[in-house]
Amino acid sequence: MSLIERKNNNKTEPTLECARPHNLDQPIREGIILCPACGGENPEDAVFCARHLCHKALGEFKYVLEELQAQKNWIEKLADKVTNFIAKPHFIIIHMLWFGVWILANEGYLGHIPNFDVYPYSLLGIILAIEAVFITGFLLISQNHQANYSEKRAELDYEVNIRSYRKLIELEKRLNSLESKSHGVDH
């Protein structure tokens, strides 16, 4: 995605007019930016909404992460939720409790529960193998999404660098031109 739009083979850079937030009809208060998503008040130098649950980008241009989040389908959203869960200590604790109860139940230490998976716990092994397949799939989906995000950021970083470089060269040429004109006037 390029910030440059092509119209009739002419390059036109977007102006801030086309990228303004949709909440311009709301009253403007000095030093305050209203979030277009939740309506929360933010300081004028804020980049993201201060509300933890909202955290919407407040800039004049689209935010790459928000664009990618909007394009996600249900399986990618589920993969991100699963990945976030398995990356926390709760996942290990739940599995330790599960294994402990499983082993204690099958060794007869929990009393009235009959043995349903005798040692070497083949059923547990099969369940864990199925779980590993699903977790691997979810991790790969989530990782693929992260790679797309990184590629998009790298592309935008490159574009910003090129635009900045070109502007600096243009400014340098103008300064040199003004300097040569001022030297011609002085002499």
Q: Do 90 and 169 sit in the same domain of this protein? A: yes
Q: Do 171 and 100 sit in the same domain of this protein? A: yes
Q: Which residue has the tokens 């390059």?
A: 11
- Number of Cβ within 10 Å of residue 129's Cβ equals 9
- What pLDDT, on the 0 to 100 scale, is given for residue 35? 85
Q: Do 141 and 104 sit in the same domain of this protein? A: yes
> Number of structural domains, the chain?
2
Residue type (1 letter), 29? R
Query: Which spans in the chain are helix H?
Result: 64-71, 74-86, 89-106, 122-186
Q: Which residue has the tokens 């407040």?
A: 58
State pLDDT tens for residues 139-184. 999 999 899 889 988 888 888 889 899 999 999 999 999 998 888 7
State pLDDT tens for residues 58-73. 776 667 777 778 888 9
Q: Which domain holds residue 30?
A: 1-62
Q: Do 152 and 173 sit in the same domain of this protein? A: yes
